[in-house]
Amino acid sequence: MVDRKIVNFVSHWNCKFESYSFHHNYFSMFLCNYFSIFLFLVFSIVLSTIIFFLSFFVSSKLDDAEKLTAYECGFNPFSDSRSEFDVKFYIVAILFIIFDLEISFLFPFSVCLNTISSVSYYCMLIFLFALTVGFLYEWKRGALDWD
């Protein structure tokens, strides 16, 4: 029911813009084609602003002793929380980001595999080869070992 009202509202405005004599004007065509997206953008900005300020004013700001204590999975802290981390944590995180980005490049490639040219296909093979060589190099160096 709500979707029908939104569709009627947007189609009403589209008809209003299309009925004017300057229909061939670029701005009016822009409004006809993208008015629903603009309406959604304005609605989402207004709603997120309302939710942000509402949560700021409604939330409690009282600090008690329990809230200010250090917390480590329900236990009292064993040592200082500002101790140094091993570099391997950062290396594994960076490797995860790199290979996660690889998947984001592979998905569109796999979707349009039957429509791309051979040059695009060989460029993607070179990209995959470079990533495979990098992965093998990191594996050989022991970046993935937890010794």
Tens digit of each residue's pLDDT, the chain (147 residues): 445 555 555 555 544 544 444 445 666 777 778 888 889 999 999 999 999 999 888 887 777 776 676 665 666 666 666 667 777 788 888 888 888 888 888 888 888 888 889 998 999 899 889 888 988 888 888 877 776
Q: What angle in degrees, to the nearest 10, is found between the helix axes of 87-111 and 118-141?
A: 160
Give the 3-state secondary structure of residue 72.
strand
Asked if 42 contacts 56 with a C-beta cutoff of 8 angstroms, the reply is no
Give the 3-state secondary structure of residue 140.
helix
- The predicted structure's pLDDT at residue 76: 64
- The predicted structure's pLDDT at residue 4: 58
Token output for 122: 């060989």
- The predicted structure's pLDDT at residue 22: 47
CA nearest to 131, candidates 88, 102, 93, 90? 102
Residue 91: count of CB within 10 angstroms of its CB: 14
Amino acid type, 48: S
- The predicted structure's pLDDT at residue 139: 85
Q: Look at the block and give the residue holding tokens 């993208």.
A: 34
Is the pTM here over 0.85, yes or no?
Answer: no
Token output for 128: 């995959």
Could you give the CA distance from residue 45 to residue 31 in angstroms, rounded to a whole number?
19
